[in-house]
C-alpha cells in the first residue's frame, strides 16, 4: 500500500491522507502546521478558536505517532505557546527526547519578552536508545567572517576542539529563516532546507521514508530527496502542492565521497560524526598531523566549499 504513495505529493487534507498509511510504516514524521497566527495562506483559515485548534492538532499528532516505526522519530515545529500543549499530549503516547530551540530573532511585541526562538519537539516511539535511530551530528565552528577565528572559546580548550566543528546541541543558531524574496516561493512560512536536512541526517538512513503532513512548498520532501531518502508529502492547497512538485524536480542529491551531507551556499552545514574522516579523506596518520597543525586544518575543514561558490555568506 505504502509503495504507491512513495515519492509523491498528496494533494488532500492530511487527516484523510494519513488514514491510508498503516501503523509503523514511516521512519520519520515532521510537521510544521499552521501556527494559528492569522497568516495569509491561499485558502487555509489560520484563525481558529484555541480549543478547536488544539483538538485538531491532537488528531494529526496521534496519526503521526501511529504511522511512525518503533525505530523512528517524530518532530513538530511551532511557537513555544502551542508546543507546550503538544508536549503534554505527546508525552502520553511517545517519548520526549528534546525541545530544540531554533534561534530566530523577531520584532518586539511590547510587554513580553522578545520572542527569539521557534521550538522543534523531538519525540521517539521507543524508550530505549538501542531501539531508535540517532546519529551524532557535527556543525562547523561558528567563526569570525573576516579573521576566521572561533567565535566561542570552548571554555579555554580551543586546541582540543574537533577540527570540523562541535557536536550539535539543542540550540540551533546557525540556520537562518529565509528572508530574501528571491530565495522564497509564494508561501507565507517556508522553512530553510538545511533545517530539515539536519533533522533527517540525525534520525534516518538512506532510503528511509520521511513524511510531512503539511508540506507547504516541499522543504521536507526536497531535503529528503537531496539526502537519498524517500518522502511522502501532504498538502491540501493545490498551488502549494504544485510549487512542491516543481521544487522536488529541481533537487539533486548532495554527497561527498559517498556520504550525504547538508550544504548551503557551498559550505557543509551538517554532517554525521561518523562520516567526517571519509568526507575529508583523513587517514590515521593525517589525524596525528592534524593535531600538530590544528589551526590551519580547522579552517580548511570548516570552510569546505564547492568550486562553484567563491563567497561564504549567509
Provide the binding-site residues for ligand SAM, judged by CB under 6 A: 13-14, 32-34, 41, 44, 187, 189-191, 214, 216-217, 219, 234-237, 240
Which residue, 177 or 277, has its beta carbon nearer to ligand SAM? Answer: 177
Give me the long-range contacts of 90-93 (CB less than 8 A, separation at least 24): 90/61, 90/65, 90/121, 90/123, 93/61, 93/62, 93/65
Min CB(123)–ligand SAM separation in Å: 18
Query: Nearest approach, Cβ of 11 to ligand SAM (angstroms)?
Result: 9
Q: SS3 string of 257-304? A: CCEECEEECCEEEEEEHHHHHHHCCCCHHHHHHHHHCHHHHHHHHHCC
Please provide the distance, in angstroms rounded to a whole number, between the alpha carbons at the two ends of the chain. Answer: 42
Residue nearest ligand SAM by beta-carbon distance:
216
Give the nearer residue to ligand SAM in terms of CB position, either 85 or 304: 85
Burial readout 161-180 (b: 16 or more C-beta within 10 A, e: otherwise): bebbbbebeeebebbebbee
Instruction: Tell me the closest approach of the beta carbon of residue 100 to ligand SAM, in angstroms.
Output: 15
Minimum distance from residue 120 beta carbon to ligand SAM (Å): 12
CB 25 within 8 A of CB 53: no
Cell readout for 209 is 521514508
Identify which of residues 175 and 279 has a Cβ nearer to ligand SAM in the complex: 175
Shortest distance, CB of residue 211 to ligand SAM, whole angstroms?
12
CB nearer to ligand SAM: give 71 or 219: 219
Q: Which is nearer to ligand SAM, 14 or 271 (CB)?
A: 14
Decide whether 34 or 165 has the Cβ nearer to ligand SAM: 34
CB 62 within 8 A of CB 91: no
Ordered DSSP codes for 99-159 = EEEEE------SSSPPP-EEEEEEEES-SSTTTS----EE-PPPB-TTT--BSS-GGG-GG
Q: How far is the CB of 252 from ligand SAM (least distance, A)?
A: 19
As given in the structure block, the three cell numbers for residue 24 are 509503523
CB closer to ligand SAM out of 44 and 99: 44
CB of 60 to ligand SAM, least distance (A): 8
Amino acid at each position: 500500500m505504502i509503495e504507491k504513495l512513495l515519492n509523491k505529493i498528496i494533494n488532500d487534507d492530511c487527516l484523510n491522507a494519513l488514514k491510508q498509511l498503516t501503523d509503523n510504516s514511516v521512519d520519520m514524521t515532521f510537521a510544521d502546521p499552521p501556527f494559528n497566527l492569522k497568516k495569509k495562506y491561499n485558502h487555509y483559515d489560520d484563525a481558529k478558536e484555541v480549543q478547536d485548534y488544539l483538538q485538531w492538532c491532537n488528531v494529526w499528532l496521534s496519526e503521526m505517532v501511529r504511522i511512525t516505526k518503533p525505530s523512528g522519530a517524530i518532530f513538530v515545529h511551532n511557537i513555544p505557546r502551542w508546543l507546550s500543549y503538544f508536549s503534554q499530549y505527546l508525552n502520553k503516547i511517545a517519548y520526549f527526547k528534546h525541545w530544540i530551540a531554533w534561534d530566530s530573532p523577531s520584532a518586539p511585541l511590547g510587554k513580553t519578552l522578545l520572542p527569539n526562538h521557534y521550538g522543534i519537539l523531538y519525540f521517539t516511539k521507543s524508550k530505549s536508545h538501542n531501539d531508535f535511530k540517532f546519529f551524532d551530528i557535527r556543525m562547523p565552528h561558528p567563526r569570525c567572517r573576516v579573521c576566521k577565528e572561533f567565535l566561542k572559546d570552548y571554555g579555554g580548550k580551543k586546541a582540543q576542539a574537533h577540527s570540523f566543528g562541535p557536536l550539535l546541541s539543542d540550540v540551533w543558531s546557525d540556520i537562518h529563516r529565509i528572508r530574501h524574496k528571491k530565495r522564497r516561493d509564494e508561501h507565507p512560512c517556508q522553512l530553510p532546507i538545511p533545517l530539515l536536512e539536519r533533522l533527517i541526517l540525525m534520525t534516518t538512513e538512506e532510503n528511509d521514508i520521511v513524511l510531512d503532513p503539511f508540506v507547504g512548498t516541499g522543504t521536507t520532501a526536497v531535503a529528503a530527496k537531496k539526502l537519498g531518502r524517500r518522502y511522502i508529502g501532504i498538502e491540501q492547497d493545490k498551488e502549494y502542492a504544485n510549487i512542491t512538485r516543481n521544487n522536488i524536480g529541481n533537487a539533486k542529491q548532495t554527497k561527498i565521497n559517498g556520504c550525504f551531507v547538508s550544504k548551503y551556499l557551498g559550505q557543509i552545514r551538517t554532517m554525521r560524526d561518523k562520516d567526517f574522516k571519509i568526507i575529508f579523506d583523513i587517514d590515521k596518520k593525517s589525524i596525528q598531523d592534524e593535531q600538530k597543525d590544528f589551526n590551519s586544518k580547522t579552517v580548511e575543514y570548516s570552510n569546505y566549499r564547492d568550486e562553484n561558490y567563491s563567497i561564504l555568506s549567509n
